[in-house]
Amino acid sequence: MKKEALEVLRNRRSIREYSTEKVKEELLDKVLEMGTYAPTGMGSQNPIIVSIEKEELLKKLDTMSARVMGREGLVNPYYGAPVIILVFAKKDSPYPETDSALIGGNIMNAAYAVGLGTCWINRGKQMFESEEGKKLQKDFGIDDTYGCYCTIALGVPKGNHPEAKARKKDYIRKIK
């Protein structure tokens, strides 16, 4: 049994405050690589993972996310993370949302395993359905047959990882 893997799954939590420290390239590369090992429906591997560190794009994504929330002018919907990861998948594939979520889960768990923090941000689809998002997607070299189904804030946590809340009593039901 891989005890370390179980500990990662048990202890990873969403991080909503990041240090200003730049994410080390080798750590980011490892985290992104682990995203590529997530299962995809029928082994399609059709998703595309985009990692954003460019300051002007981070600000643009913040603005787009705030707009989707109906909170124009909100500062830091991505909590000031120095990296935003986007996962695009073919819209007509059987499971674009599931494939993207599994990739996102791998990325989040891998980030925790290497000492980074993440937070899933649930507005990618709406952001990239906007005219501004469609243009940005095209600028990334991703055609309109793809949709964005996962966005993740990533960076060096400021402070300690939060503790897990107690699990609810009826979380699991075993039927034999």
Please write the tens of the pLDDT for every residue from 27-42: 999 999 999 999 999 9
Q: What is the pLDDT of residue 169?
A: 93
Domains and CATH numbers, the chain: 18-155 (3.40.109.10)
State the pTM of this model.
0.94
Pairing of strands 146-155, 83-90: antiparallel
Q: What is the pLDDT of residue 76?
A: 81
Spatial strand order of the sheet with 83-90 comes to 48-52, 83-90, 146-155, 117-121
**Nearest in space to 107 (alpha carbons), one of 93, 119, 98:** 119
Please write the tens of the pLDDT for every residue from 68-123: 988 876 668 999 999 999 999 999 999 999 999 999 999 999 999 999 999 999 99
